[in-house]
Chain A
Amino acid sequence: MNAPQRSVDNATRVDHLVIAELVEPGVRVLDVGCGDGGLLSLLETTRGVDGRGIEISQKGVNESVARGLSVIQGNADTDLVDYPDNAFDYVILSQTLQATHRPRDVIEQMLRIGDKAIVSFPNFGHWRMRGMLMLNGRMPVTRNLPQAWYETQNIHFCTIRDFIDLCDEMGAHIERGVALNGSGQRIALNAPWWFWNLFGQQAVFLLSH
C-alpha cells in the first residue's frame, strides 16, 4: 500500500468535521493513515483527545511529528496487528480504506484495537462516477480523485451499499452514517440508502462490535 491520494477541497474538511463530531471528548484515538496529521490536530484541539497516528509516507510522518503528534511510520495492512486489544476508544480510517490491500482485515483489526471504528471513503456509487463509466466507458477521474487507473494508489473502491454489505457480513454494527454531497453538504438522515448511494460523494460511518 502506498500513500493514498487525498482530496484537499472543502468537502474533505467537512469530512474531518463530521469525524470530529462523532468522537467523544477526551478519549484515546488512533488515526490510521493520518497523512500530515491534520485530522489528529483537529481532534486534539477541538475534542481534547489523546491521539496517535500511523502514516506510510515519510513526508506525512515528518509533518505530523513536527506538529507535536505521536505518529509511527507504518502500513495499515501489516502494522495494526502490533497493537493490543482495546487499546483505543476510537480507531479512525479517513480516506484510506480504498488504498488498503485487505480492507476487510483492516476494519476487523480496527474493531479489535478500538472500542469503535470510524471509516470515511469516497463513494464510487455517486452519480458522477456512474455517469463517467456509463457514458464515457472509462474509469472515473475527478477533482477529488485525479489520478488515472494505472497510477492511482487507490485499489479497492467501493460504494456505500458495498460497504454496508461488508459491515453486515462482518457482523459490525453501524451506529451512525453520514453522507456528504459534492458541495460537502449532508444528505438528509431520513433519505433512503439508494439516495445516499447516488448522491453521496463521501461517506463516514461509525462502527462498533
Chain B
Amino acid sequence: MAIVGDTEPTGAPAADQAVVALEQADNPSSPVVRFGPDRPLLLDSGKRLNHLQIAYQTYGTLNEARSNAILLCHALTGDQHACNRHPVTGKPGWWTEMVGPGKAIDTDRYFIICTNVLGGCMGTTGPATTDPETGEPYGLGLPVITVGDMVRAQAMLLDQLGIETLFCVAGGSMGGMQVLQWAATYPERVFSALPIAAGARHSSQNIAFHEVGRQAVMADPEWRGGRYLLDDTSPRKGLAVARMAAHVTYLSEQALHRKFGRNLQDRDKPTFGFDADFQIESYLRHQGMTFVERFDANSYLYLTRAMDYFDLAEDYGGRLANAFRGSKTRFCVVSFTSDWLFPTVENKAVVRALNAAGASVSFVEIDTDRGHDAFLLNEPEMFDTIRGFLSSAAYARGIA
C-alpha cells in the first residue's frame, strides 16, 4: 500500500529528519552512560548484553538528601525527551502537559530522570545501535528484550548516578508496565509508584494489534529481513501502516467521531477513488509519515514484543498479589473511561492485587472520551489527582 499525500511540513525536511534520527541511535544529543563487558546486562531470554549504553534526560535539581528523584518511563513510541524540544522533530516533549515548573510533576520540587528504554532508538542500546563487536548495527542480532530487562538497565543507570531510592516511578501505557515492574523487582527502591493507563499483562487483543503492526513492517520488501540499515533502505511504508493501525487503538470512537466525523478532506464530494477522501484517512496517513522519520522499524518490533511478553503475575506463580507482597510503596493507579487498549478493568486488576497484598493504593478512573492517549493530554482531573498524590507522598518523605 502506498502512503500518499497530505503531510504538514514540521522542522527539518523529512529526509534530513531520518538522517538525524539515525545519528541519535549511536550518538544521542542526550547524556549517555556506557557499560562494558565488565558489567554485562543479563537478559530474561538467558542471553547477555556485553555492551550497554543508556541515554537519558534530567529536569530540575537533585536535593542534598537525594530523596526527590522521579523516574519517568516512556511509552512504546516515546523517548527520553519528555519535556525538552525533540532533537529530530523539533517539537515539544511528549509529557509537557504533566511535567514542568509548577506542573503536576513539578520540576521545581522534584528531580526528573527520563531514560530512553532498552530496545529504543534514541541513544539507548537497541537494534539500530552499532554493535561494538561487529561495527555494524545489531539489527535482529540484538537479543529479544523484556520489560524486566528495561527496568534492570534503568537501575544500572541510577546506580551510576548515585540514586539509591526513587521518590516516584511514573509512566503511562508501556511506561506503566515499567512502573509495575519497578515496584515488583525493586520494592525497597521505590517510595511511590504511578502507573497510568496500564495493566499487569498485555491482553490477547493487544498482542493481536501488535502482530498486525509487526507483519506490516516485515511485509515491506525494504525491511530486508531486518538488515535495511546495512542495505541503506528503510521499510517506511510498512512502519507507517503499523503506526496507522496502532494509532487508532490509542483513540476512541467518540473522539474520532468528534474530531473527524465523516468529513471530507479539502473537497466537497467523494472522488470515487482511493485517495484520502476522508479527513480521518488524511490524519492517519500524516501520523504514519511523520512517525517513520523519527522511529526505527526494528525498534518497533522489539518494543512491541517486550510489551507482548509482559505478564507480571506469571513471574510470581500466577498470582499478581505475590508481586507486591510486603510492599511499602505507595501506589496511585489511574485509568480512563474511554481507554479500550488498557481499559479500567485491567487497571483495577492491579488495584485488586495491591489490595490483596495489603499495599497502600489509591485509584481513580478519569472520565474522558479521549481514549488511551488521554494520559498525554490536558486532563485537569488527572493532574489534580497526581499533584495531590505526589504532594502527600513528598510530605511523608520529608521533601520540602
Q: Which residues of A contact B (CB under 8 A)?
A: 52, 58, 61-74, 82-84, 87
- A184 to B267, alpha carbons, bound, how many Å? 71
Interface of A is mostly: mixed
In the complex, are the beta carbons of B362 and A82 less than 8 A apart? no
B351 proximity list for chain A (CB < 8 A)? 72, 82
From known contacts A72-B363, A73-B363, A73-B364, infer whether A65 and B355 are also in contact, taking CB-CB under 8 Å: no
In the complex, are the beta carbons of A83 and B391 less than 8 A apart? no
Selected from A66, A74, A84, the residue in CB contact (under 8 A) with B363 is A74
26 CB < 8 A contacts A-B? A52-B355, A52-B360, A58-B367, A58-B381, A64-B362, A65-B389, A65-B392, A66-B384, A66-B389, A66-B391, A67-B388, A68-B393, A69-B392, A70-B360, A71-B363, A72-B363, A73-B364, A74-B363, A82-B348, A82-B351, A82-B352, A82-B355, A83-B355, A83-B356, A84-B355, A84-B356
* Any A CB within 8 A of the CB of B358: yes
In the complex, are the beta carbons of A71 and B388 less than 8 A apart? no
In the complex, are the beta carbons of A87 and B358 less than 8 A apart? yes
- A10 to B218, alpha carbons, bound, how many Å? 69
B367 proximity list for chain A (CB < 8 A)? 58
Nearest-CB distance from B106 to chain A (Å)? 14
- A87 to B354, alpha carbons, bound, how many Å? 12
In the complex, are the beta carbons of B364 and A70 less than 8 A apart? no
- A63 to B384, alpha carbons, bound, how many Å? 9
* Any A CB within 8 A of the CB of B396: yes
A64 proximity list for chain B (CB < 8 A)? 362
- A111 to B387, alpha carbons, bound, how many Å? 35
B272 proximity list for chain A (CB < 8 A)? none
In the complex, are the beta carbons of A61 and B385 less than 8 A apart? yes
How many residues of chain B have a CB within 8 Å of chain A? 27
From known contacts A62-B388, A82-B355, infer whether A70 and B381 are also in contact, taking CB-CB under 8 Å: no
Nearest-CB distance from A84 to chain B (Å)? 5
In the complex, are the beta carbons of A58 and B356 less than 8 A apart? no
Residue of B nearest to A58 (CB): B381
From known contacts A65-B388, A72-B351, A82-B355, infer whether A58 and B330 are also in contact, taking CB-CB under 8 Å: no
From known contacts A58-B381, A65-B332, A82-B352, infer whether A71 and B362 are also in contact, taking CB-CB under 8 Å: yes
From known contacts A70-B361, A83-B355, A87-B355, infer whether A62 and B396 are also in contact, taking CB-CB under 8 Å: no
Residue of A70, A82, A83 with most chain B CB atoms under a 10 A cut-off = A70
B355 proximity list for chain A (CB < 8 A)? 52, 72, 82-84, 87
Write out, one digit per residue, whether chain B residues 358-400 have a CB within 8 A of any chain A CB (1) or not (0).
1011111111000000000000010011011101110110000
In the complex, are the beta carbons of B381 and A62 less than 8 A apart? yes
In the complex, are the beta carbons of B365 and A73 less than 8 A apart? yes
- A70 to B330, alpha carbons, bound, how many Å? 8
Additional A-B contact list (11), CB under 8 Å, known A62-B381, A64-B362, A82-B348:
A58-B366, A65-B388, A65-B389, A66-B387, A66-B389, A70-B330, A71-B362, A71-B363, A72-B361, A73-B364, A82-B351
Residue of A nearest to B356 (CB): A84
Nearest-CB distance from A79 to chain B (Å)? 8
B384 proximity list for chain A (CB < 8 A)? 62, 66
- A67 to B381, alpha carbons, bound, how many Å? 16
- A58 to B358, alpha carbons, bound, how many Å? 23
B385 proximity list for chain A (CB < 8 A)? 61-62, 65
- A63 to B385, alpha carbons, bound, how many Å? 8
A68 proximity list for chain B (CB < 8 A)? 392-393, 395-396
- A61 to B386, alpha carbons, bound, how many Å? 11
B388 proximity list for chain A (CB < 8 A)? 62-63, 65-67
From known contacts A58-B381, A70-B330, infer whether A65 and B362 are also in contact, taking CB-CB under 8 Å: yes
- A71 to B391, alpha carbons, bound, how many Å? 15
Selected from B356, B360, B364, the residue in CB contact (under 8 A) with A62 is B364
Nearest-CB distance from B381 to chain A (Å)? 6
In the complex, are the beta carbons of A65 and B364 less than 8 A apart? yes
A62 proximity list for chain B (CB < 8 A)? 364, 381, 384-385, 388
Residue of A nearest to B395 (CB): A68
A71 proximity list for chain B (CB < 8 A)? 362-363
- A196 to B309, alpha carbons, bound, how many Å? 61
- A62 to B363, alpha carbons, bound, how many Å? 10
Residue of A nearest to B388 (CB): A66
A61 proximity list for chain B (CB < 8 A)? 362-364, 385
Nearest-CB distance from A34 to chain B (Å)? 11
Nearest-CB distance from B337 to chain A (Å)? 11
Nearest-CB distance from B313 to chain A (Å)? 15
